[in-house]
Structure 1
């Protein structure tokens, strides 16, 4: 086998141990992802399909495939597919019903974003605690005038979602002397927060009533869609701050705009919005107490490295045990 074939880029055949699809993420070339997997699998072939034609050809015989997405027509061309290693934590964009029918095992990138999104949330909280947005406005005006700030210590932070990201947020808040409330579907499982509650009954609104910082780090489901609505904004303390790194529709956008206009909350840090991208004429752009980042909390220069750790380890396990392999981050189709 030639050197070009051994690294997989020139091999149009479908006998590679790992096939990497061509779509990248966060503006980072997908070649870096393929290279990170190769570095971790020196004894296996890793093929990167760089064109639609190469994808269609290579996936016909591929058993282990990784990528950001998998279109249905490409799935139908995959005659021998056994594992699809999704390069995102969420899998709602995949044809999950068809993958389940085909008996394809799906894994995700859960845990890859924990450190960077945890840091993003902490930065957003400190931004509003010390009111850096006020300082920025006065700096632009060359205005040396003191303003009142807040103190994080002694505050209550409610974290909705205790997956890898929610846990990462809780861990980073621990040194700040705050009280934490975690919200999850199965509160009996506990978590790294001082209190853990569920979504049922009045528990969530009771938590809102004593919350200073509300962090949304949950998946978008029927339960969480519109979770933070008009009733929530009436319940929450007017000095509270909302931080959303989950999905835009977890918050009722019209209710959020009303709450900001009515001084029902102190501010909001939004990495995700509904709609997304946020239209240029949307009123959320114009609030001085709203921090908007363009779905950027997930960016980290270590994304492909962390992802490759999971994907390469699973490829090793699959190579050893085949369909009986115990894979990390395996997605439960029934959940």
Structure 2
């Protein structure tokens, strides 16, 4: 095809602070016989989507959808697709795929890194170095602890995989515990089962989608159930954890610490008390921000372009 009738259009919105043009370049490398075009302006988006069978991007508004008459596949660059007009896409017969799996290695490492920071109290060492204090402190060991991972999707499985060799017990929490998983034990979200797991947890890693079930999943009752020496790491979505309850737990020594890559609200206001807690480490929703993000995403989309042509089942299909 020509640029007027491209095979794949990459929409203009970037993510993770990395130019989306790099995503288009990765797709061109994998699809050398296809016309991959990066729409750089709103006008280019409106013009190019009209004849493209595949559109790739972070979001798709109603105006673009109306213009995308030839679209057969919208390849969403996020794992979550709740922000998309899914009903309208389904009515049009457009397949939708997501980016599930691209964040496994990077966010898995982020979680394990934070577990080690709190286990070895590296943040305390950094604080004393900043004050030029040569003053000893006692740390902990990750070995022998119990790590509970909420959500056993690609990220949760990546966390468990990277914990191999650390000598920890693992508990997985998922909607369908009867399916099992890579952890030593798997439980569901039922109150009794979940609280029993929390009572035995030293480190709680939250890596689940935000749903009606998981919204507010960890509140004051759950934080009271966790041992006071436990650590919480959230790389899911901010509303999975009740922020006011977390402030209460950290302020009152009901929790040893927390590492938050996501918050509620987000961004976290400058005057929020969490910024000033020495036992709370905050990163600005960037655990997935690595150069490999677009590479992994392009692998999925390029394979789906091939499958679309062959009439095969699409990877990561949502509808």
User: 2:173, 2:150 → 1: CA distance?
Assistant: 5
Distance in 1 between residues matched to 2:223 and 2:21, nearest whole Å: 45
Corresponding residue for residue 68 of structure 2: 78
Q: How far off is 1:57 after superposition?
A: 0.9
* Correspondence list, 1:80-95, <5 A: 80-95=70-85
Report the alpha carbon displacement of residue 81 of structure 1 after superposing the two structures with TM: 1.6
Poorly superposed stretches of 4+, deviation over 4 Å:
none
Find out whether 1:117 has 2:107 as its counterpart: yes
Instruction: Tell me what 1:289 maps to.
Output: 279
Please state whether the residue corresponding to 2:165 is helix, strand or coil: helix
Correspondence 1:178 to 2:168: yes
Partner of 1:208: 198
Report how far residue 258 of structure 1 moved. 0.5
* Structure 2 match to 1:8: none
Deviation at 1:201, TM superposition (A): 3.8
Which of the numbers 21, 32, 56 marks the counterpart of 1:42? Answer: 32
TM-score, with normalisation over the residues of structure 2?
A: 0.98
Which position in structure 1 is the counterpart of 2:14?
24
Aligned equivalent of 2:141, options 151, 156, 170: 151
- Number of residue pairs aligned between Structure 1 and Structure 2: 319
Unaligned runs of 5+ in 2: none
Question: For each residue in 1:246-267, what CA deviation from the matched residue of structure 2 results, as whole angstroms up to 9, or x when unmatched?
Answer: 0000000000000111110000
Q: C-alpha displacement at 1:217, in angstroms?
A: 0.1
What stretches of structure 1 of length at least 5 have no aligned partner? Answer: 6-10
Alpha-carbon deviations, 1:141-183, whole Å to 9, x = none? 1110101100000000000000000000000001100000000
State how far apart, in whole Å, the 2-side matches of 1:242 and 1:285 are. 16
Q: What do residues 46-100 of structure 1 show as CA deviations (whole Å, max 9, x unaligned)?
A: 1111110011111112221111111122112211221100011111221122222
- CA 201–267 in structure 1, closer or farther in 2 if over 3 Å, else same: closer
- Matched residues in 2 for 1:114 and 1:90: separation? 14
Q: Does 1:301 align with 2:288?
A: no
Is 239-248 or 104-113 further displaced after alignment?
104-113
**Partner Cα separation in structure 1 for residue 210 and residue 275 of structure 2:** 23
Partner of 2:251: 261
Q: Secondary structure at the match of 1:176?
A: coil
Partner of residue 311, structure 1: 301
Alpha-carbon RMSD: 1.1
Q: TM-score, normalised by structure 1?
A: 0.93
- 1:111-145 Cα deviation digits (max 9, x unpaired): 10100000000100000001111111111111101
Q: Deviations over 1:276-301 (max 9, x none)?
A: 00000000000001000000101111
Give the corresponding residue for 1:270: 260
1 CA distance for matches of 2:153 and 2:166? Answer: 21
Deviations 1:218-243 (A, max 9, x none): 00000000000010011110000000
1:142 and 2:132 are equivalent in the alignment: yes
Q: Which position in structure 2 is the counterpart of 1:327?
A: 314
Determine the C-alpha separation between the residues in 2 that align with 1:223 and 1:56: 38
